[in-house]
Each structure stands twice: as C-alpha cells, then as structure tokens.
Chain A
Amino acid sequence: MILNQFLILAAILFCIGVYGVLARRNGVLVLMSVELMLNAVNINLIAFSAYLRSSAGDVFALFVITIAAAEVGVGLAIVLLIYRNLHSPDLDRVEQLKG
C-alpha cells in the first residue's frame, strides 16, 4: 500500500483549491476551487480507509460528496443572484458589508 503518493496528490489538489478560492475573482471558479478542496479531503479519507482496512473513511467520503452536492446547489444560486444584481460574477464587487 503506497499511502504517501495519495497524500501528496491530495495535498497538491488542496493547495490548488486554496489558491483558487483566494485568488480567483469569478464566483463560479471559486466554487469549483472549493470542490477541489473537498475532493482532496475525500482522497485522504479513502486512502486512510484503505490503509487501515476500515470502512469508516469510505462512509465519511460518501457523506462529503452528498453535502458537497447540496453546497454547490446553494452556492450556484448565490452566484446567480450576484450576477443578476451586479451584472458580473466578480466577487470583489460584493462588499456591501464593509465596516
């Protein structure tokens, strides 16, 4: 069982996701980056699950996938509303809560 390779893959995916969330200005791309991060976590869960020969990690991964689907549903709806109100998916323009 080669655990290391899976963990490195997951870490790379997660870092790409973090970069996307922090740096992209397009709301849709930010959502996609969030998905990348979630999937990186899924890889970790399944890798450990296989390594430890326990099915708990698989179950967790299934839950994460389900929640991720719901989250994308809500997230896309929010992006759609932002687009409708500001005529642009640019997240930098959504700053009405500035203190």
Chain B
Amino acid sequence: MLEYAWIIPAIPVLSFVVILFFGKKMPKGGSEIGIFAVGTSFMLACITAVQWFQRVENASGKSGGAALSAFGKGLFARAGEGGVIVQPVVSTVRWFQMGGVTVSIGTRIDGLAVMMLFVVTLISLLVHIYSTAYLHDDVRFTYYYAALSLFTASMLTLVVASNTLQLLVGWELVGLCSFMLIGHWWEEQANTNAALKAFLTTRTGDVGLMIGVIITFFAANQSFDIGKVNASALAGLNGHTIWLVGASCLLIGIIGKSGQFPLHTWLPDAMAGPTPVSALIHAATMVVAGVYLGARVYGVFWQGFSIHSGGLNAMAIVGGITILIGAALAFVQDDIKKVLAYSTISQLGYMVMALGVGSWVGAVFHLFTHAFFKALLFLGAGSVAHSGSHHSFDMKKDMGGLRKYMPVTFITFMIGSIALAGIFPLAGFWSKDEILATAGQNGFELFTVVGLIGALMTAAYMTRCVYLTFFGEYRGHHHPKESPKAITIPLIVLAGFSVIAGFANASLFDIEKFKQYIEPTVAFPKNIFGVDFDIGLAALSVGIALTAIGIAAAFWIERKELKGLKGLTERSSVLKAGHTFLVNKYYLDYLYTDVIVGGIKGPIARASYWVNMNIIDGVINGVGKGATVIGRVVYRDIDQLVVDGAVNGIARETDQAGGLLRPLQSGRVQRYALMLFAAVGLIALALAIFG
C-alpha cells in the first residue's frame, strides 16, 4: 500500500466525477457515493499508516510481527533509539520533461504523510456523514457533495505530493474548492463576498509560495523533489542568502493559507459557508495546508531562518503575534462560529510559532490534536444552530441554557473546549506543552511566555463561549431539541479522539510516538531540538488555564446576574446559608464553585466578605474588563483600521485606475477590432521606420 498511495486521493476524484454526473439520480442525492468513497480512502489510509509503522519497526531491528502487536509494543517502548534511518517511500512517474529537467508526479509517503492522510480522511468522513443531516433539504445538495469530494481529493493530493510543484497544484485546488464551498449559499451577497475575500486573500499568499517554489527549485540545483530540496537546504547549497529569500517567500504562502497575521482577515468571513465546511476547512484541510507545507520543507526554514541558533526569527514572530491577536479578537465576538474562527487563527499561530522555534514535533502534534477538537467544536456549534437556535449563530440573542435540551452536544462541546484550553490530560494539553517546553529549553523563552499568555486567553474566551451558549436561560424563540444521530455520532467520535489523541505523544509517560514514527530521519535537521518533559511548565500552563476559566466564569456569570442579584459575593454568602440556593442557580459553572466559592464558604466567609467586595471583585472585574478592552482596541485599531485600511486602500486605488480605463471597454466588437487594427498598423509603421 505504501507504493500505491496514489489510490487514496484518486478515489475521491472518481467520486467527484460520479456524483457530478449521476448524483441527482441516486436515492440519496449522491451523498452515499461521497461517504462510500471517503470511507474507502479512510480504510486505505489506516492500512498505509499501519504499514508505515511496520516499516519503522523493521528498520529499528525489532521483530516485525503483526502490525497491531507492533503498534502495541511500540506503545510502551521508549522512543527514538537514535541513528535508525527509515527511508520514505517515494514512487513517481514522469510528468513532463523540459530542457533537461524532468518533472515527475508521484507520492512521498513518510510519517508526516500517513498522519495527515489519517486525519484528513477521518475528519472528511465525519463531515460527510454529518452533512447528510445538516444540509438535508439544501437546494444544491448533490453539488455540495461533489465539491466536498473534490475538496478532500485536493487536500490528499497535497499531502502525498512528492515534489513542490505537485504540492502547489494541490494547494491551488484546495483554495478553489474552499471558494466553491464558502460561497455555497451564493444567493446572499454577503456569502459571495466572503468567498471572494477568502479566495483573493489566499491568492495573495500563493504568489509568495509560487516564487518560493521557484527559488528553492534553482537553489536545489534544479529539482522540485521534496527530499532533494530539504537535503540541499540543510547542506546550505548555493549559499545561505538564497535559502533565506526562499524561506521568506514560502512563509508568505503559509501566512496567506494558514490565516496568520496580517492575512488572517479572510478566516472569520469564511464562516459564511455551511458549518460542516467550516469544520473541514479549519480542522483538516485548507488552513492546515500552510502548516503542513512548513513541516514538509522544514529544511528550507531551518537553514533560511537559522533556527538552530535560537533568538528571534520571522516565522516565530509571525506565529507569536497571531496567537495574541487571534485570542484577543475572540473575546468580542457574539457569533459562536466567529469565536471559533479566531480561536483557530490563534491555534494556527501556535503551530507556526512551533515551527519557528524548532519544535517540529510540537507543530505537527498540535496540528494532529487540534484537528480533532476544533472539528468537534465546529460541528458542535453547527449542531446547536441546527437544532437549538434555528440557524442562528448569535450566542447572545438565540442561545443560552441549551445544556438541558442538548445533552450530547453539550458534553462533547465541553470536552472540545477543555481540550482546546489545554487542561490535563486532554489532547490540547500535551501538544501545547510540547511546543512551550521546546521553546523554553532552546533559547526561545520569549515565545514560551507568549504561548502561556495565549493559553490564558484561550481558556477565558472558551469559558465565555460555553457559558453564553449552554448556561443561563434560553434566550431564543424556538423549541431546542437534541440533534439527530447523523450529527451526534460524529460529535461523539471526535470527542473520543479529543480525549485520547494526546497520548500519542505523552512525553510525561515516555510515550513518544511522534518522535519515533512521524519525525523524518532523512533530509531532516540532524541537530533538531530534543525536549524533556517539564513538569513545572506543564503545571504552570494548566494552572494558568484553570485560573483563566475561573476568572472568566466569575466575570461573565456575574455580569449576567448584576441586573437581578447584587453580585458574585452576594451569591456566595447566601450559599453559606443554604445549599439549595446553589441548586436553584444550576447554571453556576462547577469550576466556578470549586475555585471561588470553595475558598470562601464556612466561617471565613464573613471575614472575607469585605475583601471580596472591594479587592477580589475589583481584580476580577479589572481583569475581565481589561481583556475586553484590549480585545476591542485590537479589533478596532489594528484589525479594522490598519489591516482593513490597507486592504481597502489598495482596492480603492485599483478601482480608480479601473475607472480611467473604463471608456476603452465599450462593449462594441467593432471598436475592439478598430483598436486591434490600429495597433497592428502602428507596429507595422514602427517596423518600417526602425526595422
């Protein structure tokens, strides 16, 4: 299967064609073809992964055995015995030949590729199933499934690509498909605009990628092959400067595709598409393509940005800024999908920063875990909108109190939020900690601090989001109910993965599957940073996250209550008198009760009442208000004024230039013909005089 991996993207391509031509005639509008095709791809991806594990096992000189037992054995073995070389499986055919340069097309299967194949096909399969219910009566149901198949196929092509040119083809196809799907409901002008914005913004970054591919082609002595590019970069072929320029251009491509500052503005607008599409775009395809590119040609970045020497570099700085900007913006959104969109931006910032600080394993691992819990959160938000708030995503107007009506959605959404916030032992904790520890142990202390601040903000805005959606009183005007099985089952599967995915590389327990199976051993930085599990840092990050949840819960819950009751401390002292009150106030977050109330009940309550009223409240309100103010300032002054201003300015200039040229575009064929003949005449005249 490792040699025949091209079948995996080929199946969805086939299903795209079949759905397009025969989908309307099928009893379920083509959805069954899509699900079957992606399901088959998923099975093949699993087989490929198992065979890759076997290959690594064999290379390490261990007894091969059955794949599963090898995997089980590996689960408890200490990873990274060192010095073992596992060649990636590259199989290619000649694509075209041009002036002595042969460009091939094919597959390059290694740990990174099998990991991505698994994630992409799994998430895509779940999204396919989910969509049968979510888009049940859609006017373009068949068309939607065709586009979804093509989307999956494009991403898989990108993942298995054996050379940068093929990667570029997949990259552009992914952009095209996301354009089609974001603008799925094109009858509304806003959706069309969002699709165009997404397409054009990512195109801006694509120019950088294209130039980067060309530069690396020449820098690697005329080769597009990924292995050769990486090896040449690490050897510093043709000098350091060319790799610096190449890496900078590729970074622009990553910034455009992965929603990094300052090209992140398209991502929140891309929420105009159907929610399952948002989940697919944000978790498994499209935006992670950028991070994948970074991990794929990591040698170029390692050499170009001199990551081994520590200190500051463009990649880490871009990632760091994105973490903070994205998280700050998430505070001021009322649309649940926009909160998640900004959260994705922030999390992608972690991945790019991780690549920038030399934490390759951390970046790829975070991509892996993030895919599960972000897909879960988006599908959860979709479930809420589908069955709870009547297709509205406004948390303040149409949600609240859905905990009672939608228990499955609530529990899975909570799991996703906790995983995202990085609480032990869920998925997000392990990957985030891997990044922070690597940064801290290799001379990037500044970025560890940025990461910790990001963790604080992440936990706080997710608390707000969960509170507004699921706690309090129902504020909508419909009859919320639990979603159908086609929606809840993908949620449950993803919640399961969100819990266990982190243990794939839980360095605390000496499980380092990613280091062992995923990290390349060929054409990869020899002196890539190792990392030791830092229990102090881990405790610190979890502590920070919990504090943030506590503060945020206190702040937002209290603010809701200010109208009727006197405040947080008032409720606490009443709580001392009777537990029944708490039962009535069922919406109090249990964390809130543990962290805040737990400390002040009993005899201390009366004594600390004054302190509570005047100091703790002040601090809590201050922190809460501060976060909101910072978020607003960032949103208004940086995002809206500077970034949007620059974009709008360019658009205005283009518009004026176009206005000058408008008369030429008369629409009359004969005018055009006249211009044509006049131009030919002028050229002939010029030739007659000067030739």
Which residues of A are in contact with B by a Cβ distance under 8 Å? 18, 21-23, 30, 91-92, 94-99
Are A99 and B677 in contact (CB-based, < 8 A)?
Answer: no
Which residues of B are in contact with A by a Cβ distance under 8 Å? 661-670, 673-674, 677
Are A91 and B668 in contact (CB-based, < 8 A)?
Answer: yes
Are A21 and B670 in contact (CB-based, < 8 A)?
Answer: yes
Q: How far is the CA of A92 from the CA of B667 in the complex (A)?
A: 9
In the complex with contacts A18-B677, A22-B673, A99-B668 CB distance below 8 A:
no
Q: How far is the CA of A99 from the CA of B673 in the complex (A)?
A: 17
Chain B nearest CB, measured from A13 CB (Å): 15
Residues of chain A within 8 A of B669, CB atoms compared: 91, 94
Are B674 and A95 in contact (CB-based, < 8 A)?
Answer: no
Are B673 and A97 in contact (CB-based, < 8 A)?
Answer: no
For the complex of A and B, the 7 pairs showing the least CB-CB separation, nearest first, are: A99-B665, A98-B667, A95-B667, A97-B667, A99-B662, A95-B668, A22-B674
Q: How far is the CA of A98 from the CA of B662 in the complex (A)?
A: 8
Residues of chain A within 8 A of B674, CB atoms compared: 22
Are B665 and A22 in contact (CB-based, < 8 A)?
Answer: no
- What are 14 of the A-B contact pairs (CB < 8 Å)? A21-B673, A91-B669, A92-B668, A92-B670, A94-B667, A94-B668, A94-B669, A95-B667, A95-B668, A97-B667, A98-B665, A99-B661, A99-B663, A99-B664
Q: How far is the CA of A18 from the CA of B681 in the complex (A)?
A: 12
Are A99 and B667 in contact (CB-based, < 8 A)?
Answer: yes
Chain A nearest CB, measured from B659 CB (Å): 9
Q: How far is the CA of A18 from the CA of B661 in the complex (A)?
A: 26
Residues of chain B within 8 A of A91, CB atoms compared: 668-670
Q: How far is the CA of A58 from the CA of B180 in the complex (A)?
A: 50
Query: Which of A21, A22, A23, A98 contacts B666 (CB under 8 A)?
Result: A98
Q: How far is the CA of A82 from the CA of B666 in the complex (A)?
A: 18
Residues of chain A within 8 A of B673, CB atoms compared: 21-22
Residues of chain B within 8 A of A96, CB atoms compared: 667
Q: How far is the CA of A98 from the CA of B664 in the complex (A)?
A: 9
Most B CB within 10 A of own CB, among A21, A30, A92, A99: A99
Extra contacts besides A92-B670, A94-B669, A99-B663 (12): CB < 8 Å: A21-B670, A21-B673, A30-B670, A91-B668, A91-B669, A91-B670, A94-B667, A95-B666, A95-B668, A97-B667, A98-B665, A99-B662
Chain B nearest CB, measured from A85 CB (Å): 15
Chain B nearest CB, measured from A66 CB (Å): 23
Residues of chain B within 8 A of A94, CB atoms compared: 667-669
Q: How far is the CA of A23 from the CA of B669 in the complex (A)?
A: 11
Q: How far is the CA of A58 from the CA of B673 in the complex (A)?
A: 28
Chain B nearest CB, measured from A86 CB (Å): 13
Q: How far is the CA of A22 from the CA of B670 in the complex (A)?
A: 5
Chain B nearest CB, measured from A29 CB (Å): 12
**Which residue of chain A has its CB nearest to the CB of B662?**
A99
Q: How far is the CA of A45 from the CA of B568 in the complex (A)?
A: 95
Residues of chain A within 8 A of B665, CB atoms compared: 97-99
Q: How far is the CA of A95 from the CA of B668 in the complex (A)?
A: 5
Q: How far is the CA of A96 from the CA of B669 in the complex (A)?
A: 11
